[in-house]
Structure 1
Amino acid sequence: MIEKSDITYEKTILIGLITQLQDEDKSIEYLDELEFLAYTAGGEVLKRFVQKMQAPNPKTFIGSGKIEEVKQYIDAHEVSIAVFDDELTPAQQKNIEKILECKVIDRTNLILDIFAQRAQTSYARTQVELAQYQYLLPRLSGMWTHLERQRGGIGMRGPGETEIETDRRNVRDRISLLKKKLITIDKQMAVQRGNRGKLVRVALVGYTNVGKSTLMNVISKSKVFAENKLFATLDTTVRKVVIGNLPFLLSDTVGFIRKLPTQLVESFKSTLDEVREADLLLHIVDISHASFEDHIDSVNKVLEEIKASDKPTLMVFNKIDAYHPETIEEDDIVTEKTEAHFTLQEWEQTWMNRVNGDAIFISALNKENIDKFKETVYNKVKEVHTKRFPYNQFLYDEYTE
């Protein structure tokens, strides 16, 4: 354990692969994100192990030589957790735990753990618990390793198998119960959404940690929890907002991430009803992140999964205060200019062309360009509102703060 500012961090190592489908740059990027996930969950990353392979080893994910190297490091530095960047099969996890003799988790398990920490309401806790049980079910046999030394002894195999089967049945029963509970809560939330009247609905969507909650605090002048960690927001927050003289509902939703566990996508689809039922999406993007365009693609894939990709969308590029392009010296005739060298103005022109002008660049933290942002949102909400209430459109002739 490592103490930092009265917080106990567990000694952690990360393990990833370089494959035909994932080159070295992509592997480094994923491990950077995995380290942030580990930090969010309470881990202190001491070292990364990366191996180049055609495909993961079906027994131990990485090769025998590399896993021995990992084992030696774990023993020498008293590491308590090994985190793998890709989802491990139940057999792989069991084999690796035998060799490393420490806690072994994968990216999916780590994200589930963060969600479990962050869930505040009964609804969020139920969704996370369901996802955890769905992840756990095929891995139950690995939890009975304490019977291994007795396995094969007279009278031991039967009770061991019975114990596992009993647990499987209990987990299946719990999954069924949680699904029924979610259906009940979904109906209650649908009634709540129906009771909000005909106000225009706007939803904030985006990759995790792009500043959605910070922006919501700026717009709604409320205090929604915001932190520089992944998945700071799990529970959907809805606020009534007035820009100029035009009221609408603004919702802040859970952030998305690459390699998002299937169990979580399924469990949180109901939470994302706020997105499905929104009249306008504000897709928040961290322009300062080197892979922000990959983040946009990841969010768009989830929007397609929940059938919300065709909604009117305003691209909001946040954190312009933290954006620093790579520079090329004037006398440098060798270096080829790439997107990494784009100025903010060049990115603005690029994305304005891509989305027919539906893009704006801001800093929610420093409130840069917020007035222009509010005016843009006002005009888009007004467009929806006047279609819904044509008889009082004269009330909203122009934006006034």
Structure 2
Amino acid sequence: MQPSDLRIALFSGNYNYVRDGANQALNLLVGHLLAQGAAMRVYSPTVAKPAFAPTGDLVDVPALPVPGGRGEYKIARGLPATVRADLEAFAPNRVHVSAPDILGHRAVTWARKHRIPVVASLHTRFETYPRYYGLAFAEPLIIRLLTRFYNRVDRVMVPGGSMAALLHEWGVTTPVGIWSRGIDHARFTPARRDLAWRRSLGIADDVAAIGFLGRLVKEKGLDIFAEVVRELSRRRVPHKVLVIGEGPARDWFAGEAPGAVFAGFQSGDDLGRAVASMDVFFNPSVTETFGNVTLEAMAAGVPVVAARATGAIDLVDEGGTGFLVPSRDVAAYADAIERIARAPDLRRTLGEAGHHKAAGYVWDRVNQAVLDAHLTLG
């Protein structure tokens, strides 16, 4: 089979209406598959004013807002008759599902009925979310549901070896492949560091800018981030928190981290400038399957302090490009950040090593792994 023989129906819970690392990766994947000659059709909830324009043909799937104060996200109600008619007219010979939601389950069921191979890509550790909203007791049940979902497909593509190991630990027996992530090396580079921009935000040259990058939601580890910042202040470590991003927890985080600089949402080369202008990138999240933001910081020559969790352990070389810390160990996080903040030579050495390692992550190369997975399924 050749790429031009492929007709792939891709199902996403959020293809472009809220910007995040997962849907940006999906759009880049669709662009690569189209460039190689595959026919693509994407099925996802849509909104009147999406975060960015979609890559490829996008079909709206009716959806409801997610409850619990997270209405910016949508839950598709399955495959209604109009969507099924469009799907059958497209006549895919492959199905790709990107989330274990209602839409993903219905897509797998439809594919099984029509004897069409299914590839699932795993982007988010949904089983970790309840612990941030007082529902940690639900985690074992969610793991069982996720295991069942991924055992229904023909191939699971995960971002790295740590996620592959976790799926095997859960009991997933479906063959697993690696779909890593790439980087825009012209955007994320040490050359974009801009001290004048930092000064305009009130960050002095001799103060370590400790960066957060991502959507401001509690499951990104904002509680631990705030505790670590308070510990650094107690130790009188010269620092300034630089927050890049927006989200529903912004006001809460601002209250927990007084004195932090909120630079808001940044995109394009402005984002590259913001990341390169950090001195330490701090990522205490345990919900990542890969951590695009971690790779972006490394490419920009910024040392990383991260939770010893999936994603980060595939990227960060302990003591080489940064430091990995037990996920809730506030003192150990503070130790690592203080060590970097007080040692400019160490900061430079770690940053250079991270930049060198990130150079191997190129989108066309990593997206080819997904194309190969679709081509090799019978």
- Range class of TM-score, shorter chain: 0.3 to 0.5
**Whose Rg is larger?**
1
Determine which structure has the larger helix proportion and give its number: 1
Higher RCO structure (Cα 8 Å, ≥6 apart): 2
TM-score by length of structure 2 reads: 0.33
TM-score by length of structure 1 reads: 0.32
